[in-house]
């Protein structure tokens, strides 16, 4: 009997420990990346809004191993082969380039992430500086573009951080 009770407790603990946390976002957008600049980068992203904060979750593959930058750009236009049709970094408050959440920065200055030796990466970033479809155009990410760069952002070079070629693009649209 003690073994049965102990087994039930262990199994219950395992089930509770393995249960994933699901966030019920008030607003959510799912995106797919298009390869740019002759890269083989692909992936998906999700923006979810809850309690005045927006979370970006992106899964990417086909990257060169190492550090890359990701930014929100001005336009939801990924038509150019090099991603240039997305315009520059989204900067509705006319700040200097930097890292969002650390000093002065564009609203689109998300930062860097690392691709593993197989070229896969996950990006998770949360901020109260964005909203999904709200009336505040200095926060609304709808109609913008999400760009992955070939190189890391140096957080210094103006106006874009010297992050190299645009290797993936996705329009942030409903």
Q: What is the pLDDT of residue 6?
A: 45
Please tell me the distance from the alpha carbon of residue 161 to that of residue 174, in angstroms, as a whole number. Answer: 29
Q: How far is CA 58 from the centre of its chain?
A: 5
Homologous superfamily of the 25-172 domain (CATH): Superoxide dismutase, copper/zinc binding domain (2.60.40.200)
Residue segments in the chain with a per-residue pLDDT below the cut of 50 = 4-8, 10, 12-13, 15, 18-20
What is the per-residue pLDDT for 2? 54
Per-domain residue ranges of the chain: 25-172
Helix (H) or strand (E) holding 6: helix 2-18
């Amino acid at each position: 009997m003690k073994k049965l009770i102990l087994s039930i407790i262990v199994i219950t603990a395992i089930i509770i420990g393995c249960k994933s946390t699901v966030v019920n976002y008030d607003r959510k957008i799912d995106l797919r990346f298009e390869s740019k600049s002759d890269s083989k980068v692909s992936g998906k992203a999700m923006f979810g809004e809850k309690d005045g904060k927006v979370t970006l979750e992106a899964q990417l593959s086909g990257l060169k191993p190492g550090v890359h930058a990701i930014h929100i750009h001005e336009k939801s236009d990924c038509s150019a082969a090099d991603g240039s049709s997305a315009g520059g970094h989204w900067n509705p408050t006319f700040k200097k380039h930097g890292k969002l959440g650390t000093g002065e920065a564009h609203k689109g200055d998300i930062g860097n992430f690392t691709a593993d030796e197989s070229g896969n990466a996950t990006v998770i970033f949360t901020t109260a500086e964005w909203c999904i479809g709200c009336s505040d155009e200095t926060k609304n990410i709808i109609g913008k573009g999400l760009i992955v760069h070939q190189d890391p952002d140096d957080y210094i070079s103006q106006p874009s951080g010297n992050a190299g070629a645009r290797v993936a693009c996705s329009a942030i649209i409903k």
